[in-house]
């Protein structure tokens, strides 16, 4: 049984009918959580709840952990008006408001999910108690180009898997041994369900521009070898001057919470 299948067996699936379609949560509940405040996790681009597959079981020892398939990804519907993080953020806010009513949440957002959460925090401060940004774009600091490879319809299954392996090594993960067949399966399933392919604002400084509107504490966690920030990682605290803390995890690339989950959990527990 794969790690995704094993982890999914521990989860409760919650489907919410919204005016624009379906929003899907996977929830890992602690029988008697030591902290009753929900911990919400948002995945990265071309992802789903599985971006947190190495984290949810551990984090649910103390908290109820709610992981959203954001609209347009995984099992959640894509609202017709959504094209990027800026138009997605109001829909994520709508989901959180309906799910948790008057309860503020601690939210951890990875990459595109963190950028979306940061934009949401600027316009809906009543939703968040704490925000943790993990390897987020939107700071105007990303590398110009990553050596990613594209797919062709004529490719065989083996060729497609080889492209996914290359792209995971190029962008997501530092160590080649992290890219197992199981992780390629996970990546292929996520990419196939990405219905928001023309995202563009990640390369702008859109997130840095809204930080003055944040009202909750905001923290940063990055992988030390994040491919998106190979020469600019040291500038993140300078650009995000409102961060309450900034931690760098060694021996990890962009998908830091997967590749070095133990160190990531220690960093997150310092915050939460």
Instruction: State pLDDT tens for residues 218-236.
Output: 999 999 999 999 999 999 9
For residue 31, pLDDT beyond 80: no
Residue 252's nearest CA partner among 231, 219, 218, 222 is 222
36 confidence band (pLDDT: 50, 70, 90): confident
How deeply is 239 buried, as exposed, middle or buried, from its count of CB atoms within 10 A (0-12, 13-18, 19+)?
middle
Contact 174, 259 (CB under 8 A): yes
Residue 168 lies in a domain: no
Residue 50 lies in a domain: yes
Q: What is the CATH number of the domain that holds 226?
A: 3.40.50.1820
Residue 158 lies in a domain: no
Contact 182, 239 (CB under 8 A): no
Three-class DSSP category at 217: coil
Tell how strand 39-42 and strand 21-28 pair up. Answer: unpaired
So what's the pLDDT on residue 1? 82
Residue 59's nearest CA partner among 128, 120, 117, 10 is 10
- C-alpha 92/C-alpha 24 separation (Å) is 11
Instruction: Name 68's Cβ contacts closer than 8 Å, sequence gap at least 6.
Output: 23, 24, 25, 40, 41, 42, 43, 49, 76, 92, 95
What the block records as the tokens of 214 is 């944040």
Residue 189 lies in a domain: no
33 confidence band (pLDDT: 50, 70, 90): low
So what's the pLDDT on residue 197? 81
Average pLDDT over residues 182-211: 95
Residue 130 lies in a domain: yes
Average pLDDT over residues 113-123: 98
Residue 203 lies in a domain: yes
Residue 251 lies in a domain: yes
Residue 186 lies in a domain: no
Instruction: Name 126's Cβ contacts closer than 8 Å, sequence gap at least 6.
Output: 104
Sheet containing 39-42: give its strands across.
12-18, 21-28, 65-69, 39-42, 105-110, 128-134, 218-223, 245-249
- C-alpha 75/C-alpha 249 separation (Å) is 30
Torsion of CA 53, 59, 63, 68, to 10 degrees: -20
Tell me how many domains the chain contains.
1
User: Where in the sequence is the domain holding 83, given as residue range(s)?
Assistant: 3-146+197-271
Length of the chain: 272
So what's the pLDDT on residue 82? 96
What the block records as the tokens of 265 is 């959990």
């Amino acid at each position: 049984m794969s790690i995704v299948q094993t982890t999914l067996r521990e989860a409760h699936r919650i489907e919410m009918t919204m005016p624009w379609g379906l929003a899907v949560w996977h929830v890992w509940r602690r029988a008697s959580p030591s902290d009753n405040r929900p911990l919400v996790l948002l995945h990265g681009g071309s992802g789903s709840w599985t971006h947190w597959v190495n984290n949810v079981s551990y984090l649910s020892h103390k908290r109820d952990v709610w992981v959203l398939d954001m609209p347009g990804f995984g099992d959640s519907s894509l609202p017709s008006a959504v094209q990027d993080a800026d138009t997605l953020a109001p829909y994520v806010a709508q989901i959180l408001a309906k799910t948790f009513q008057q309860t503020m949440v601690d939210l951890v957002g990875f990459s595109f999910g963190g950028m979306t959460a940061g934009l949401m925090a600027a316009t809906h401060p009543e939703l968040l108690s704490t925000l943790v940004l993990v390897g987020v774009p939107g700071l105007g600091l990303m590398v110009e180009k990553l050596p990613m490879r594209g797919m062709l319809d004529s490719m065989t299954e083996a060729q497609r898997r080889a492209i996914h392996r290359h792209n995971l090594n190029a962008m997501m993960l530092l160590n080649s041994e992290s890219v197992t067949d199981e992780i390629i399966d996970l990546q292929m399933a996520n990419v196939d369900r990405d219905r928001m392919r023309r995202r563009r604002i990640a390369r702008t400084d859109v997130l840095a521009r809204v930080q003055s509107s944040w009202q909750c504490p905001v923290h940063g966690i990055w992988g030390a070898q994040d491919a998106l920030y190979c020469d600019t990682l040291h500038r993140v605290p300078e650009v995000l001057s409102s961060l309450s803390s900034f931690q760098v995890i060694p021996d990890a690339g962009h998908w830091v919470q997967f590749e070095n989950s133990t160190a990531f959990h220690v960093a997150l527990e310092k915050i939460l």
